[in-house]
């Protein structure tokens, strides 16, 4: 959005921004909310504009469509068939034919954690602007893979995605290539479109676009076994953590990551760490508005005993919520607002809602009233806590934590607990997923043929 605004001002445009909204992943968006948000955009299109710049995630599912973004773009096209449209997508987009065929240009993030939002929007908008000036004619090629890679293996500082993204950047240096995007996909979305894909934009060169799209897609498919996470028993990882002496040591409760759709109130890992006797642990964060309200009523320095977390049942994995009885002192109470200083969403003010810190002796637990993934140290600093001074940071995160904590960590351990953001896809009841797909169907194959509609 920042890039769109900067460029529109540079071009002397009058800017219309009907809506800017974001939420943590969860259940499908209700039809009323989707209708309201998309309706605001469609109303402005109906009034008349000369170009459209859209920052869309790319994996939206609602009660009335399995393709939120593609459906929106089809509706825009019905109103304004010839309007130039630039779209930026998240690295985790499940790209659809409706999206690709109803926009002029599509670009995607090349980083996970996502630190190139501005650059991605800038590239999409500039290609569109050049096309409107007659300086290029964007054409796109798209390859969809039958591959649901594990999010834990999608970090772009790790192999195989580090090499795959490098190949995308190298391809962009070829004459006539405007943009190359590899999308890891959002595997926890239950839709026919779920999975990895490649989109290549060239200047009026279909053959070049298709060649590069095929090359990148085949390289991604060849590395599919590297994209699968191998789990380790929770007890083994905790024992490993106990033996480490130099901190900070980051412990990732990755199965309960709200940034991927987790409830953020599963207490399995926290309970296990308490029982193992780890000391000097700080937890970010448990979602429990009721517990926050109890601590607010008690006040700072009060000693409280209360059930924490476990408020949400998870029928998708056939588990019920189980609160953990805790006791300790309330050390901090805030409104939960802070500004992000790190590279991901830099400068944005966010709100955790009313927030409290409970000190149980060996563990400090940050309890929030709104879901937020802990990827920025500002979360701790807003509570007067220096995370670099703690021995263990227990974060309900997967990869995004690296944006703010990778340089701080001496060690990082993945803790396999419970939660709907599990990497064990066998636990998840997919109803709409197109099969066969790897790794659910290990013997499935990939034929890198162009998708329908001439792409």
* Tens digits of residue pLDDT in 60-101: 999 999 999 999 999 999 999 999 999 999 999 999 999 999
| Res. 453: pLDDT tops 80 | no
At 118-169, the pLDDT tens digits run 999 999 999 999 999 999 999 999 999 999 999 999 999 999 999 999 999 9
User: Do 264 and 205 fall into the same domain?
Assistant: no
For range 258-270, the mean pLDDT = 97
User: Do 276 and 312 fall into the same domain?
Assistant: yes
User: Do 30 and 147 fall into the same domain?
Assistant: yes
In a domain, 128, yes or no: yes
User: Do 202 and 306 fall into the same domain?
Assistant: no
pLDDT at residue 417 in the model: 97
In a domain, 452, yes or no: no
If DSSP states are collapsed to H, E and C, what string results for the chain? CHHHHHHHHHCCCCCCCCCCCCCCCCCCECHHHHHHHHHHHHHHHHHCCCCEEEECCCCCCECCCCCHHHHHHHHHHHHCCCCCEEEEECCCCCCCHHHHHCCCEEEECCCCCCCCHHHHHHHHHHHHHHHHCCCCCEEEEEEECCECCCHHHCCCCCCCHHHHHHHHHHHHCCCCEEEEEEECCCCCCCCCCCCCEEEEEEECCHHHHHHHHHHHHHHHHHCHHHHCCCCCCHHHHHHHHHHCCCCCEEEECHHHCHHHCCCCCCCHHHHHHHHHCCCCEEEEEEECHHHHHHHHHHCCCCEEEEEECCCCCEHHHCECCCCEEEEEEEEEEECCEEECCCCCCCCCEEECCCEEEEECCCEEEEEECCCCCCCCCHHHHCCCCCHHHCCEEEECCCCCCHHHHCCCCCEEEECCCCCCCCCCHHHCCCCCCCCCCECCCCCCCCCCCCCCCCC
User: Do 130 and 210 fall into the same domain?
Assistant: yes
User: Do 204 and 141 fall into the same domain?
Assistant: yes
Mean pLDDT lowest among 363-367, 399-403, 443-447: 443-447
User: Do 217 and 71 fall into the same domain?
Assistant: yes
Which neighbouring-strand residues pair with 349?
339
| Res. 455: pLDDT tops 60 | no
Percent of the chain with pLDDT over 90: 95
In a domain, 396, yes or no: yes
The last residue of one of the domains, among 177, 197, 227, is: 227
In a domain, 454, yes or no: no
pLDDT at residue 338 in the model: 96
pLDDT at residue 449 in the model: 73
State how many domains the chain has.
2
User: Do 239 and 223 fall into the same domain?
Assistant: no
In a domain, 406, yes or no: yes
User: Do 242 and 192 fall into the same domain?
Assistant: no
| Res. 410: pLDDT tops 70 | yes
pTM beyond cutoff 0.85: yes
For range 23-39, the mean pLDDT = 94
At 159-201, the pLDDT tens digits run 999 999 999 999 999 999 999 999 999 999 999 999 999 999 9
Domain holding 58, by residue range, is 2-227
User: Do 222 and 248 fall into the same domain?
Assistant: no
User: Do 24 and 167 fall into the same domain?
Assistant: yes
In a domain, 352, yes or no: yes
pLDDT at residue 451 in the model: 59
Mean pLDDT lowest among 49-53, 110-114, 343-347, 364-368: 343-347
pLDDT at residue 17 in the model: 95
For range 231-251, the mean pLDDT = 96
User: Do 211 and 338 fall into the same domain?
Assistant: no
In a domain, 215, yes or no: yes
In a domain, 427, yes or no: no
| Res. 205: pLDDT tops 50 | yes
């Amino acid at each position: 959005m920042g890039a769109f605004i900067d460029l529109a001002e540079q071009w002397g445009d009058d800017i219309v921004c009907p809506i800017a909204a974001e939420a943590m992943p969860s259940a499908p968006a209700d039809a009323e909310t989707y209708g309201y948000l998309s309706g605001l955009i469609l109303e402005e299109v109906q009034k008349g504009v000369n170009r459209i710049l859209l920052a869309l995630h790319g994996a939206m599912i609602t009660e009335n469509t399995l393709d939120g973004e593609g459906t929106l773009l089809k509706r825009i096209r019905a109103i304004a068939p010839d309007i130039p449209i630039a779209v930026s997508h998240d690295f985790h987009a499940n790209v659809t034919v409706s999206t690709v065929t109803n926009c002029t240009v599509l670009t995607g993030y090349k980083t996970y954690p996502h630190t190139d939002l501005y650059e991605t929007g800038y590239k999409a908008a500039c290609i569109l602007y050049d096309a409107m000036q007659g300086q290029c004619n964007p054409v796109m090629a798209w390859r969809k893979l039958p591959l649901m890679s594990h999010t834990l293996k999608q970090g772009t500082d790790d192999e195989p995605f580090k090499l795959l993204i490098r190949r995308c950047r190298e391809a962009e240096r070829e004459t006539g290539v405007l943009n190359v995007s590899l999308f890891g996909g959002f595997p926890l979305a239950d839709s026919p479109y779920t999975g990895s894909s490649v989109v290549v934009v060239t200047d009026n060169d279909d053959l070049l676009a298709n060649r590069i799209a095929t090359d990148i897609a085949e390289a991604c498919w060849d590395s599919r076994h590297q994209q699968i996470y191998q789990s380790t028993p929770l007890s083994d990882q905790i024992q490993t953590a106990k033996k480490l002496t130099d901190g900070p040591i980051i412990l990732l409760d990755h199965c309960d990551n709200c940034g991927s759709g987790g409830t953020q109130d599963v207490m399995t890992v926290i309970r296990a760490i308490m029982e193992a006797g780890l000391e000097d642990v700080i937890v970010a964060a448990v979602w429990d508005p009721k517990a926050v309200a109890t601590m607010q009523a008690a006040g700072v320095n009060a000693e409280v005993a209360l059930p924490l977390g476990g408020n949400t049942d998870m029928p998708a994995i056939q588990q019920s919520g189980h609160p953990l009885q805790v006791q300790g002192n309330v050390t901090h109470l805030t409104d939960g607002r802070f500004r992000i200083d790190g590279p991901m969403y830099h400068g944005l003010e966010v709100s955790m809602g009313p927030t409290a810190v409970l000190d149980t002796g060996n563990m400090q637990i940050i309890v929030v009233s709104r879901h937020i993934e802990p990827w920025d140290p500002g979360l701790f600093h807003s509570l007067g806590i220096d995370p670099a001074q703690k021995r263990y940071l227990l974060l309900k995160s997967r990869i995004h934590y690296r944006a703010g904590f990778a340089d701080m960590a001496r060690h990082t351990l993945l803790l396999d607990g419970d939660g709907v953001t599990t990497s064990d896809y066998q636990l998840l009841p997919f109803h709409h997923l197109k099969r066969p797909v790897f790794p659910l169907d290990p013997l499935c194959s990939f034929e890198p043929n162009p998708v329908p509609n001439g792409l």
